[in-house]
Amino acid sequence: MKSFIFPMSCGSAAVLLGVLQTASAASFDPASGMVSLTKVDAGSLGSYSVTMRYVSPFVVLQNAMPATSAASADASFSATTGSLLIPALSVGTAKYKLSLQQVAGSFDFNITGLDFANDYPLVDTGQSACYDASAPIDCSASGASFVGQDAQFSGVQPSYTKSSDGLTVKDNVTGLTWQQNHSTAQVYWAEAEAIPAALNAANYGGYNDWRLPTIKELYSLWNGGTGWPYIDTNYFTVNYTSEMELSHAIFWSSTKYTGLLESTVDPETGAEMAFGVNFGTGHIKAYAINVGPRHLARCVRGDVYGVNNFKNNSDGTITDQATGLMWAQADSSSGMDWEHALAFAQTQNAANYLGHNDWRLPNSKELQNIVDYTRSPGATDSTKVGPAIDPLFSSTGITNEAGTADYPWYWTSTSAKANATAAYDSAWYVAFGRAVGSDGKDLHGAGAVRFDAKVQGASGGESRYLNYIRLVRDVK
């Protein structure tokens, strides 16, 4: 079952609103504290049986199941965030949510159809400090340079639960369950794809539906709170004995690159590639699948996470109904350094760009989530040639360092550092065109997430410090 996060009031009255489709009376047992809502008829889509438990002053959904199925799903309330995590009732492509209202100790329950199905909740990056071109600055400063960066916007915070046997970790935001540890064996991609079968045969952690994660699922674990490693080590093990070893903590995803390795910087030129996340350095890159270095694997189970649902609003904006984010359909049409990219958003807000004044630079997870990994400028399938983004969006064409027609890299609002003790003199970007090497040819694949100097001269190893912007805002 898929999950949604809905904000709730922490007061005595809590309401989740939706368009009423059908309703059914509920019964409450004061002795057990259980509320039962049975035979909820979702039109012609089938009936559901729902049970809730009252925990003053909140209601926690205990399970929701089709009347003909024994499947169940838990839900929980976070007093810290004021959010109720409720599994959705999903039949085919139709999604439903539960609406509940507490009024003077009585309860009304409705089932509502969703025009806006927020079934792709983005986990926050965890970055809580602000930086100028290299040094920490006061996040509360307004009207100053470098305003509008990642730490000044709060998203859905990570939340995990480790199993009692220590083998698995449940992501309470995405609904995915992960291996807590990983094999120390480094493998090629085809070998990584075979690992879930062994886990399933062993009923690992009590489950037999393990699989290799997609790149968007794997990146959902990325945490930039401190970096190096870029994962919460309170819940997930990353085995390393040195910073050099950590810099090779690359984990395979199931997402294969649609193009080939073009760059002669890498000896595996012409190789097929698949994407992975380096939880040491923080990058997403595509790697040769059957030659060169081998990598690690951490398996996952649960409903596939990370599917966009774009709607063209026909006003220059595109809403992702899966995440609740609205995007500018067009990009900035020119590149600029990171300081000016942040300022660009403020300028557009002052101009009430496309009728809104709350645009911002997306953080690294927000921007990565709109990558279309089925597309690339060098795709071997001619029908998939183009920038790595849904064709609903427009992307400025550029000529890259090799003189080849290409598409830009786009800044995020998230700062980066080159090693564990380095200054935050770089920022993450997402390559919607080729992620080229020093020869200007594709090295890491369109859809890669890498970093570069925020402003010219801020750090060594500059590749492109003039990148493009695609603005985002939260749908109210």
Domain ranges of the chain: 3-113, 121-476
Identify the bridge partners of residue 106 per DSSP, sorted by sequence position: 103
> What pLDDT score does 150 carry?
98
> What pLDDT score does 456 carry?
86
> What pLDDT score does 461 carry?
59
Read off the tokens for 51: 């049970």
> What pLDDT score does 61 carry?
43
pLDDT < 50 stretches in the chain: 1-26, 28, 33-35, 37-117
Read off the tokens for 61: 């959904």
Cα 199 to Cα 294: distance, rounded to the nearest angstrom:
20
367: enclosing H helix or E strand: helix 364-368
Longest dimension (CA), the chain: 75
> What pLDDT score does 460 carry?
61
DSSP E strand boundaries for 209-338: 250-260, 272-278, 284-288, 300-301, 310-312, 317-320, 325-328
* Residue of 247, 265, 274 whose CA lies nearest to 187: 274
Angle at 304 between CA 300 and CA 310, to 5 degrees: 145
Angle at 263 between CA 275 and CA 448, to 5 degrees: 30
Cα 466 to Cα 469: distance, rounded to the nearest angstrom:
10
> What pLDDT score does 50 carry?
47
> What pLDDT score does 377 carry?
98
> What pLDDT score does 26 carry?
47
Whole-Å CA distances, 381 to 259, 384, 400: 8, 6, 21
Q: What is the pLDDT of residues 20-61, one digit of tens each?
A: 223 344 454 555 544 454 444 433 334 444 444 444 434 444
Residue 214: DSSP 8-state: P
Cα 167 to Cα 383: distance, rounded to the nearest angstrom:
42
